[in-house]
Amino acid sequence: QEIGETGGGLRRGGSLVAKDARHVLHPWADLSALGGQGSLMVCEAQGVEVMDSAGRKYLDAIGGMWCVTVGYGRPELIDAMQAQARRMPYFTPFADVANEPAAELAALLAELSPGDLNRVHFTTCGSTAVESAVRIAHLYFASRGRPAKRHVLSRVNAYHGSTYLAASLSGKEADRTRFHYETEWVHHLENPGFDPDDAPLSASERLGQLIDGMEAAIADIGPENIACFIAEPVLASGGVLIPPPGYHQATRELCRRHDILYISDEVVTGFGRVGHFFASEAKFGIVPDMVVTAKGLTSGYQPLGAVLISDHIAGTLTESADPAKPVFSNGFTYSGHPVACATAIANIDVMQREDICGHVRDVGPYFVERLRELRNSPLVSAVRGDHLMACVECQVPGETGPTARNQALAGRVDAYCEKAGLLVRPFENLCIMSPPLVITKDEIDRIVAIMTESLARAEHDLRAGEIC
């Protein structure tokens, strides 16, 4: 059954596509179009490709959703999932009950993580890891007798998840709909993105501005009221926004000076996407107080998140526990799920044996360089990237920002890509790309060829007055 011609081509799939359209409320669905058009029903996947229910194959330039890092169909991960499900699929992780894969994985993460981040609190996904990290920051200061320190600094254009607090920490104006958001103790600093192609200031001038702004915000709120600063090393969903050199160290230093915990949200940048298991220390030279991870931790094969916590914080929580109520009252039924943890162990093993991070450091610059050629199209206003995370910004010449027409234009580019067998991720007027880390240079060439052709076709449509 054909559901209809969408922007992305024919979406077929029989009764299941109809069931989906009738009954599923998709994350981030367009409410005005709910149930109106069929979705792309993805059924099979192998390597860097997925296949829809009509048998059409697509090169997955989204990496599932920033998360499928070692590629699809990996027997090592599938075998680990199966074996653990047979041996012991689930038991409570609460209080003094442990499971083997969670213990093994925690020790592995302690080895891979920066500095003294040796204590792991498992969660179910990125959002719950972000929430947990902030709660741990609150508990840490309460334990030190400083409960007033509860305000949180985030940044404009950040994305930290979709639970209530994580959504409040996120700073993308376009995402703010009629939901409620915490505003009393959540503050957004300026978007720190710096694009040398398009900057009135030098990198060091911009850095100075950003740090002055952060210092002013800290003075305004009062350091005695601030618990933590949460930051993606490279802002991902906000449009692959890369801060100027020195930003990470300078913000780290400000936090240290004002006794503010630094939480690095490495949900996207962790597990190889920018060439290292964790970007904070290896790439940006800082050791945060906590690191949040998810996505690539299991290559997306299982839902899992984790907060990596410094020995100092964990020690403070222990030593200063409330004698009347010493319970760490945070955690989820599926925290440290054994099947998910077994998958993560197999995933880390594959990444190490195949030196996936080394591969990313090899092909990543090629990916960004090749994508930058797309700036030859008059429809591309910017291309930003760091290894295998990149963003192609589309706009009608002369029309800046995520206007309705620019969004329609990016949607058209995306639709042509889909027709040609390439999935990119349109968000507003941005095509955000994060392919599986095992992608080859030939496959990168294919992405660039399809994007080039799709931009040319969209340009033709624009000239024909078809995009309004």
* CA distance linking residue 10 with residue 378, whole number of Å: 28
Q: How far is the CB of 237 from ligand PMP (least distance, A)?
A: 5
Please state, as a whole number, how many other Cβ atoms lie within 10 Å of the Cβ of residue 141: 21
* CA distance linking residue 111 with residue 249, whole number of Å: 22
Structure tokens at 360: 């990313």
Q: Does residue 254 interact with ligand PMP by CB under 6 A? A: no
Q: How far is the CB of 116 from ligand PMP (least distance, A)?
A: 23
Q: Does residue 265 interact with ligand PMP by CB under 6 A? A: yes
Q: Does residue 267 interact with ligand PMP by CB under 6 A? A: yes
Please state, as a whole number, how many other Cβ atoms lie within 10 Å of the Cβ of residue 94: 10
Structure tokens at 234: 């490279």
Beta bridge partners of 51: 44, 57
First to last CA, the chain: 30
**The one among 236, 307, 408, 458 contacting ligand PMP by CB under 6 A:** 236
Q: How far is the CB of 202 from ligand PMP (least distance, A)?
A: 28
Which CB, 125 or 415, lies closer to ligand PMP? Answer: 125
**The one among 101, 161, 244, 435 contacting ligand PMP by CB under 6 A:** 161
Contact 140, 261 (CB under 8 A): yes
Q: How far is the CB of 377 from ligand PMP (least distance, A)?
A: 27
- Contact stretch for ligand PMP (CB under 6 A) within 36-44, 158-166, 279-287, 442-450: 158-166
**The one among 169, 214, 294, 392 contacting ligand PMP by CB under 6 A:** 294
* CA distance linking residue 61 with residue 389, whole number of Å: 10
Q: How far is the CB of 453 from ligand PMP (least distance, A)?
A: 29
**The one among 125, 214, 226, 274 contacting ligand PMP by CB under 6 A:** 125
All residues at 6 or more sequence positions from 168 whose CB lies less than 8 Å from its CB, including other chains: 181, 182, 183, 186
Contact 113, 278 (CB under 8 A): yes
Which CB, 151 or 273, lies closer to ligand PMP? Answer: 273
Q: Which residues of 410-447 are buried (b: 16+ CB within 10 A; e: fewer)?
A: bbbbbbbbbbbebbbbbbbbbbbbbbbbbbeeebbebb
Number of residues interacting with ligand PMP: please give it, by CB under 6 A: 15
Q: Does residue 159 interact with ligand PMP by CB under 6 A? A: yes
Question: Binding mask 58-97 vs ligand PMP (x if CB under 6 A, - otherwise)?
Answer: --------x-------------------------------
Q: Does residue 374 interact with ligand PMP by CB under 6 A? A: no
**The one among 39, 127, 154, 157 contacting ligand PMP by CB under 6 A:** 127
Q: Does residue 341 interact with ligand PMP by CB under 6 A? A: no
Q: How far is the CB of 271 from ligand PMP (least distance, A)?
A: 12
- Contact stretch for ligand PMP (CB under 6 A) within 126-134, 192-200, 256-264, 277-285: 126-134
Q: Does residue 274 interact with ligand PMP by CB under 6 A? A: no
Please state, as a whole number, how many other Cβ atoms lie within 10 Å of the Cβ of residue 18: 14
Q: Assign 186 to helix, strand or coil.
A: strand
Q: Does residue 50 interact with ligand PMP by CB under 6 A? A: no
Q: How far is the CB of 305 from ligand PMP (least distance, A)?
A: 6
Q: Assign 151 to helix, strand or coil.
A: strand
125 closest CA partner among 378, 284, 335: 335
Q: To 10 degrees, the CA torsion angle through 87, 88, 89, 91?
A: 180
Q: How far is the CB of 179 from ligand PMP (least distance, A)?
A: 15
* CA distance linking residue 329 with residue 119, whole number of Å: 16
By beta carbon distance, the residue nearest ligand PMP is: 126
Beta bridge partners of 308: 120, 291
Which CB, 231 or 396, lies closer to ligand PMP? Answer: 231
Q: Does residue 386 interact with ligand PMP by CB under 6 A? A: no
Q: What is the DSSP letter of 423?
A: E
**The one among 50, 227, 268, 462 contacting ligand PMP by CB under 6 A:** 268
Q: Which residues bind ligand PMP (CB under 6 A)?
A: 66, 125-127, 130, 159-161, 232, 236-237, 265, 267-268, 294
